[in-house]
Amino acid sequence: MNYLTYSGNNLIDVRLPEGSNVLYAPRPEPGLTRAQVPAAVRQAFEAPVDMPPLKSMVNGNSKILICFDDNCQPFPPSSRPDIRQLMIEALLPMLYEAGVNKQNIRLMCAVALHRKMKRHELEFMVGPGVMQEFYPAQLANFDAEAPDELAYLGETEKGEPVETSRFAVEADLLIYLDAVQIPLNGGHKSVAVGLGTYKTIASHHSPHMTKEVPHVMQPHGSCMHDCIERISRVVSKHVKIMVLEAAMNNATYPGYMNHLGIPDSECNPIQLVIKRMTPLTMMVTPEPVRRKIFASVPGANAPMEMSAGTIDGVHPKTVAAMHRQLKVEVPRQYDTLVFGLPDLSPYAIDARINPVLVLSDVLGYVFNWFFNKPLVKQGGTVILLNPVFEIFHPEYHTAYEQFWREVLPQTADPMEMHQRFQEKFAFDEKLRDDYRNKFAHHGFHPFTVWYWATYPLKYLSQVIMVGPKTDAAPKRLGVKWAPSVDVALEMARKNGKDDVVALTLPPFFYVNVG
């Protein structure tokens, strides 16, 4: 059977053994139009969950901190106007109507240890009007390495240090605006991580959190999320937090590309012809042109519902919507998973995906997109399709390149990395300056994404890369290489039998394995 999938900036036909199963995402639930979002925002703040209406919580003396995620969400980036712009433009008049002084409002992009947003990226997210009104004095990126802008709040009951932005502590109300695509995000993670420092984030983004328990992509049953919640509880003792969460549907593709995410049986005749022709067209299209084409396709995600209020009141509603939209029932586990990774990563916006992200996106994200137990049996195989180009963005991925050149030649083991190299990178003065002043991910960031693969690296018997021209990159990443899918399937075959499942992503989905 044929399986149409990505391999970097390419779409290829892969021949799978007869009897293989290909999984597809549920069709997107209807979402609010952009014209409907402002009214939904207003309604959410007028009738929040477990909190009084916004207008009764603020007055002319109130200091307000409005926080929002960076461009990792929604992913891939949508067309304009961005949902953050619509949220902020609906919220600000409500604050003004309640008497809040504009001079007492600060907006902050909660980048945590991600790279800071450039001016044009901030403007894309908040809109030119808000940018003109607040930037730069009252609109900025959070800086996790600015000592005069941080506040130490103590420790959790398990001794985890809690640091956050002093602007959050000084505010009378922190309003966090969040567009949530997967259960990993939103909830206690928003403020506790988005405004967290290395010292705090290192507590939960640790290989010890995922060594025995795989759940990083959902809060239920996760050591990592339990730690984040403990930190969030400490923050909440010092900061009054009100969240607005938009549960996003999984409409990744605009209408003219929907055929890429649905089975042949649901395609019309024109879509079927396009699907059949796509691999041939891609084959004769130069790679730079393919990259430009895919980079120009905006995400089409829209909010299914919006709720404001307390974290504990709002986030369960968001997670329930995520389950409803993302869950695919699968009756059993498989020996072998085949997946083609596009040249996309939430940590490579406006950049090429680098080799470290290739592995972490598949083992840290895709492998962990499940609600019950992994799709692959223990001791199974993951076959990853991607060319794995050794390309590192000269601004954004300086820490990643150093990680590639200094850490991976010595070890791919998360525990050894944690012991030998983490502190060196986290406190490296050049990497610190790159993060603070040159739009790079923090020196600790490549470790965080590698740590999310801790469980599958131990759980699987092998990970096989197909796409690189040689075994050099896979060898450095600590995985195997095959020159073709056929060879990889032969390496994965057990007792002369194939037991294969393949994923068609995007759109995103989570499996619920029986």
Peptide bond into 474 cis (omega under 30): no
Question: Which CATH number characterizes residue 169's domain?
Answer: 3.40.50.11440
Write out the residue range of the structural domain in which residue 267 sits.
Answer: 255-295
Q: Tell me: do 14 and 35 sit in the same domain.
A: no
The residue that leads in pLDDT, 6 or 77, is 6
Residue with tokens 């109507």: 97
Q: How far apart are CA 284 and CA 278, in angstroms?
A: 10
Q: Tell me: do 431 and 345 sit in the same domain.
A: yes
pLDDT in tens, 176-219: 999 999 999 999 999 999 999 999 999 999 999 989 888 888 88
Q: How far apart are CA 337 and CA 459, in angstroms?
A: 13
Is there a contact between 218 and 327 (Cβ–Cβ < 8 Å)?
A: no
User: Residue 357 in 3-state DSSP?
Assistant: helix
Is there a contact between 267 and 276 (Cβ–Cβ < 8 Å)?
A: no
- pLDDT of 132 above 90: yes
Q: Tell me: do 398 and 424 sit in the same domain.
A: yes
Specify the pLDDT at position 237. 98
Q: How far apart are CA 106 and CA 139, in angstroms?
A: 6
Q: Tell me: do 268 and 135 sit in the same domain.
A: no
Q: Tell me: do 377 and 414 sit in the same domain.
A: yes
Q: Tell me: do 193 and 105 sit in the same domain.
A: yes
Q: What is the mean pLDDT of residues 444-461?
A: 96
Please name the amino acid found at residue 464. Answer: I
Is there a contact between 239 and 191 (Cβ–Cβ < 8 Å)?
A: yes
Q: Which of the listed residues 277, 308, 324 is the one where a domain comes to its end?
A: 324
Q: Indicate the average pLDDT of the chain.
A: 95
Q: Tell me: do 458 and 401 sit in the same domain.
A: yes
Domain count across the chain? 3
Please name the amino acid found at residue 276. Answer: R
User: Residue 474 in 3-state DSSP?
Assistant: helix
Q: Please report the DSSP string for 87-112 in residue order.
A: HHHHHHHHHHHTT--GGGEEEEE--T
Q: Tell me: do 47 and 81 sit in the same domain.
A: yes
First to last CA, the chain: 25
CA nearest to 135, candidates 154, 120, 115: 120
Q: Which of the listed residues 278, 309, 324 is the one where a domain comes to its end?
A: 324
Specify the pLDDT at position 253. 86
Q: What is the mean pLDDT of residues 17-35?
A: 95
- pLDDT of 74 above 90: no
Specify the pLDDT at position 217. 86
Is there a contact between 449 and 456 (Cβ–Cβ < 8 Å)?
A: no
Q: Which of the listed residues 307, 324, 341 is the one where a domain comes to its end?
A: 324
Question: Which CATH number characterizes residue 485's domain?
Answer: 3.90.226.30
State the pLDDT confidence band at 304, using cuts at 50, 70 and 90: very high
pLDDT in tens, 219-268: 888 999 999 999 999 999 999 999 999 999 999 888 888 888 889 999 99
Q: Tell me: do 154 and 303 sit in the same domain.
A: yes
Q: Tell me: do 429 and 503 sit in the same domain.
A: yes
Specify the pLDDT at position 494. 86
Q: Tell me: do 304 and 342 sit in the same domain.
A: no
- pLDDT of 73 above 90: no
Q: Tell me: do 345 and 288 sit in the same domain.
A: no
Q: In what order do the strands lie in the sheet with 334-340?
A: 21-23, 500-503, 334-340, 376-385, 462-466, 480-482
Helix, strand, coil content of the chain in percent (nearest 5)? 40, 20, 40
- pLDDT of 122 above 90: yes
State the pLDDT confidence band at 336, using cuts at 50, 70 and 90: very high
Lowest model confidence (mean pLDDT) among 69-78, 108-117, 458-467: 69-78
- Looking at the chain, the whole-number percentage of residues with pLDDT higher than 90 is 89
State the pLDDT confidence band at 510, using cuts at 50, 70 and 90: very high
CA nearest to 5, candidates 502, 510, 376, 509: 502
Q: How far apart are CA 85 and CA 103, in angstroms?
A: 19
Q: How far apart are CA 182 and CA 69, in angstroms?
A: 14
State the pLDDT confidence band at 373, using cuts at 50, 70 and 90: very high
CA nearest to 334, candidates 290, 373, 295: 373
pLDDT in tens, 411-450: 999 999 999 999 999 999 999 999 999 999 999 999 999 9
Is there a contact between 308 and 54 (Cβ–Cβ < 8 Å)?
A: yes
Q: How far apart are CA 502 and CA 481, in angstroms?
A: 18
Residues 6+ apart with CB under 8 A from 296: none
Eight-state DSSP code of residue 256:
G
Q: What is the mean pLDDT of residues 344-355?
A: 94
Specify the pLDDT at position 339. 96
Instruction: Count other C-beta atoms under 10 Å from residue 93's C-beta.
Output: 11
